[in-house]
Structure 1
Amino acid sequence: MKQWMGMTAGVGLFTVLCSAWGDEAPACIEVTVGGYKTPDYNCLSRQMGNDPQAAAAARQAREALDVPVERRPPNSVGLATPAATGVRMGDTFGTSVKPQRPASGQ
């Protein structure tokens, strides 16, 4: 009976320690080579990835990038805008088909 109680207590203690250890993130190790410190970026990423709000923020970012083509601004899909055309044409915008060019220096 004493042996059974000791074994049960040992298993219970082992379970509690394992669960406590499993919740804690392992420490990140920095390595110094030739005077330069290099952090473990995989470990840091894992530590930062446990934020429950990060998934919602990532989903919102993906939704913001998935705008249909017809709703995107013209300059993001490579179309000319009136402002860009006005800069390119100069003073002749709306009056001539030839862009304004500086006078030749002859």
Structure 2
Amino acid sequence: MLVARSVALFAVAALFEIGGAWLVWQGVREHKGWVWIGAGVVALGLYGFVATLQPDADFGRILAAYGGIFVAGSLAWGMVADGYRPDRFDVIGALVCLAGMALIMYAPRGR
């Protein structure tokens, strides 16, 4: 149950962080304005809050593991929101990052 909760929290965090960054990008690079930028800043703040809800208490481990989610999630977001088509190296790299995330976060430890 803790793994399922952790994975769900990573997914929510990714939506807020990647979505927030995308909103800021749209506001600045696509000239959509301050409302988009402001919404992005709020979403990025919510990402920071959601990250604190992880059941593991080690900040470094949570953020390191989340990096794998961020990489894969960013590629997925680009596909859905911007029509980006990853090549095989993007996909392989994302899979390596997800494997690293699983190892960092869920490997059995003798604590």
State TM-score, norm by structure 2: 0.24
Tell which structure's C-alpha radius of gyration is larger.
1
Greater helix proportion: 2
Greater strand proportion: 1
Highest RCO, 1 vs 2 (Cα 8 Å, sep ≥ 6):
2
